[in-house]
Structure 1
Amino acid sequence: MLVSLLRRLIQATFVLVAMTVIVFLGVNVIGNPVDILISPQADQAERTRLIAEFGLDQPVWIQYFEFVKGALQGDLGTSYVFNEPALKIILQHLPATLELAVAATLMSVAIGIPLGLYAGLRPKSLPTRIIMAGSILGFSLPTFWVGMLLILCFAVYLGWFPSSGRGDTVTVFGIPWSFLTLDGLQHMLLPAFNLALFKTSLILRLTRAGVQEVMPQDYIRLARAKGLSNRRIVAVHVLKNVLIPVVTVVGLEFGSIIAFSVVTEKIFAWPGMGKLIIDSINVLDRPVMVAYLMIIVVLFILINLVVDVLYTILDPRIRLNAGRGR
């Protein structure tokens, strides 16, 4: 277990180094931020001074090594627009994105797994056909269209939920959280549901496929022969085996929610990292763009490590195979 985890950490280090090169070079070929940040009436001397101040007069490889040197010290650069550390700006918006991602993930798991179990255990029933048809809609409907439809129905016509913003927050350990207030929960529900719709359909169909694969297995027949109740068979034998691929998908999809919640945050004016990165791209705020992408890379690496650990907990065969490999 320890050797496997150490091997994963070494692999994660190489991935992180490779991504710093890709991210930094990729961002630096996008336009010239000076053209946006400085007035068109400014003379050449002012342009030269600003370029030197941002370090844009240096070769790209020198800029990269300066970036790596600063990153090792926790400095990912200073925002051109806010004139504050880019990492600080990202971390200020991270809690809003995290709580939205957690809410969407919990919602998709709470809905997707029970419906998937039902659809797998009763594949020919009428409710199962309705559930599977609904999952197709969840896959097919565009996120931006569903978001606007939710706002139109539940915020404009019915007036049940607010259409934008984060609502009231409660500060805990210096971090504002909106899920701790009723107003914050009301603001969170629509964007969280919008993010959860596709994930729910994915988890539902994956759970259903897992149930249909597990039910004909010999150990299920043996459990029935022992006289175990259907509830115990499903809870102990079926669900545990079905959860192994589901955990992987939930982990990766949680990372994708954090990374790609841009559309939802923009539609609902949710003040998270997604909205911040769109605003930063519009003004070519390179340090914020690089900091955002590096935070996303680190989050995906950490999520993969957590998923690997959960694998070994859910499936002892993984530990046995690792031991034989050594």
Structure 2
Amino acid sequence: MLVFILRRLAQSAVVVVAMSVLVFAGIFAIGNPIDVLISPEADAFERAAAIARLGLDKPMHEQFLRFVDSALGGDLGTSFVHGVPALGLVLQRFPATLELALCAMLVAVVLGIPLGLWAGLKPDSLAGRVIMTGSILGFSLPTFWVGMMLIMAFAVTLGWLPAGGRGETASLFGVQWSFLTADGLAHLILPAVNLALFKLSLVIRLARAGTREVALQDYVKFARAKGLAPARVVGVHILKNIMIPVVTVLGLELGSVIAFSVVTESVFAWPGMGKLLIDSILQLDRPVVIAYLLVTVLLFVVINLIVDLVYSLLDPRIRLGGGRA
């Protein structure tokens, strides 16, 4: 296992290096930040001074080498717009995005696994068909449209929940969280549900497919033949085995939820990393965009490693590469 972890860490380092090159090259090509940051009425001297101050007067390869040198020391540059370290700005918004993503995944897991089990155990029942029809809608409806409909229904028409923002927060371990206050929790519900719909549909279909496959296995039939209670058969013999693919996919999906919650954060004005990314792209704030993308890459790398370890714990028969070395 130690050899496997070391090899995965080495592979992760290669991925981070490759992505840093691609990200930097891509951001370099999207436009000139000076066109956004400097007034069109500025004279040539002011424009040249601004370009030199931001380090944009150097060729791309020199800018990249300076970036790598600073990144090795934990400095991903200073925001062109805010004038503060870009990494600190991204990490400041990270708790809001993490909270939203975890709540969305919690909704997807808590509702998706029982619904998927039900649809898998009773596929021909009315409830099973309704569940699968609902999962198709979850895949099909655009996230931004669902978000606006949720705002219209629960914020505008019924007035039950706030339409946007993060609301009141409370500190835990030095970090501000919304779920610790009633007002913050009210602000969290709609964006979390909106972000969870696609993942909920995915979990339902994974759990249903796994349930239908596992239910036909000999060990499940034998457990039923021994007279075990249905709840024990489902909870011990079926649920544990369907969790292997579910955990694998959910681990990867958690990274995607954190990285791509841009639409939900924009619709609900949630002050997370996604909204910061959109604002930074519009303002061509290169350091912030690069910091966001590299933080996202690191998240995917860490989550993939954790998923591999959990995967092996769920099924001892699985032998990861290098595990016997």
Q: Give TM-score, length-normalised by structure 1.
A: 0.98
Q: What is the match of residue 160 of structure 1?
A: 160
Is the alpha carbon distance of 1:49 and 1:10 closer, same or farther for their aligned partners in structure 2, counting shifts above 3 Å?
A: same
| Alpha-carbon offset, residue 232 of structure 1 | 1.0
Structure 1, residues 75-118: CA drift from partner, whole Å, max 9, x if none?
Answer: 00000000000011001110000000000000000010000000
Question: 1:171 is paired with a residue of what secondary structure?
Answer: strand
Residue identity opposite 2:33 in structure 1: P
Q: What is the match of residue 171 of structure 2?
A: 171
Question: 2:171 is paired with a residue of what secondary structure?
Answer: strand
TM alignment of 1:195-274, pairs within 5 A: 195-274=195-274
| Unaligned segments of structure 2, at least 5 residues | none
d(CA) in 2 for partners of 1:39 and 1:219?
A: 72
Structure 1, residues 17-44: CA drift from partner, whole Å, max 9, x if none?
Answer: 1001001111010110001100111111
Question: 1:274 is paired with a residue of what secondary structure?
Answer: helix
- Provide the aligned C-alpha RMSD in A: 1.1
| Unaligned segments of structure 1, at least 5 residues | none
Aligned residue-pair number: 325
d(CA) in 2 for partners of 1:21 and 1:55?
A: 18
Residue identity opposite 2:299 in structure 1: L
d(CA) in 1 for partners of 2:86 and 2:322?
A: 41
Provide runs of 4+ in structure 1 moved above 3 Å: 319-324
| Alpha-carbon offset, residue 323 of structure 1 | 4.6
Q: What is the match of residue 17 of structure 2?
A: 17
Residue identity opposite 1:115 in structure 2: L
Is the alpha carbon distance of 1:165 and 1:224 closer, same or farther for their aligned partners in structure 2, counting shifts above 3 Å?
A: same
Mean alpha-carbon deviation: is it higher for 44-53 or for 281-290? Answer: 44-53
Q: What is the match of residue 67 of structure 1?
A: 67
Answer yes or no: is 1:319 the counterpart of 2:313.
no
| Alpha-carbon offset, residue 221 of structure 1 | 1.9
Question: 1:318 is paired with a residue of what secondary structure?
Answer: coil
| Alpha-carbon offset, residue 65 of structure 1 | 1.2
| Alpha-carbon offset, residue 220 of structure 1 | 1.2
Is the alpha carbon distance of 1:3 and 1:44 closer, same or farther for their aligned partners in structure 2, counting shifts above 3 Å?
A: same
d(CA) in 1 for partners of 2:48 and 2:321?
A: 61
d(CA) in 2 for partners of 1:38 and 1:186?
A: 41
Percent of residue pairs identical? 64
Structure 1, residues 254-280: CA drift from partner, whole Å, max 9, x if none?
Answer: 111111111110110000001111000
Q: What is the match of residue 132 of structure 1?
A: 132
d(CA) in 2 for partners of 1:36 and 1:185?
A: 37
Residue identity opposite 2:248 in structure 1: T
Question: 2:162 is paired with a residue of what secondary structure?
Answer: coil
d(CA) in 1 for partners of 2:115 and 2:224?
A: 23
Answer yes or no: is 1:190 the counterpart of 2:202.
no
d(CA) in 1 for partners of 2:13 and 2:273?
A: 24
Question: 1:279 is paired with a residue of what secondary structure?
Answer: helix
Q: What is the match of residue 53 of structure 1?
A: 53
Structure 1, residues 124-150: CA drift from partner, whole Å, max 9, x if none?
Answer: 101101111111111100000000000
| Alpha-carbon offset, residue 322 of structure 1 | 5.2
Q: What is the match of residue 304 of structure 2?
A: 304
Question: 1:316 is paired with a residue of what secondary structure?
Answer: coil
d(CA) in 1 for partners of 2:89 and 2:320?
A: 45
d(CA) in 1 for partners of 2:113 and 2:137?
A: 17
Residue identity opposite 1:14 in structure 2: V
Residue identity opposite 2:191 in structure 1: P
Q: Give TM-score, length-normalised by structure 2.
A: 0.98
| Alpha-carbon offset, residue 321 of structure 1 | 7.3
d(CA) in 1 for partners of 2:252 and 2:319?
A: 22
| Alpha-carbon offset, residue 319 of structure 1 | 3.2
Answer yes or no: is 1:281 the counterpart of 2:272.
no
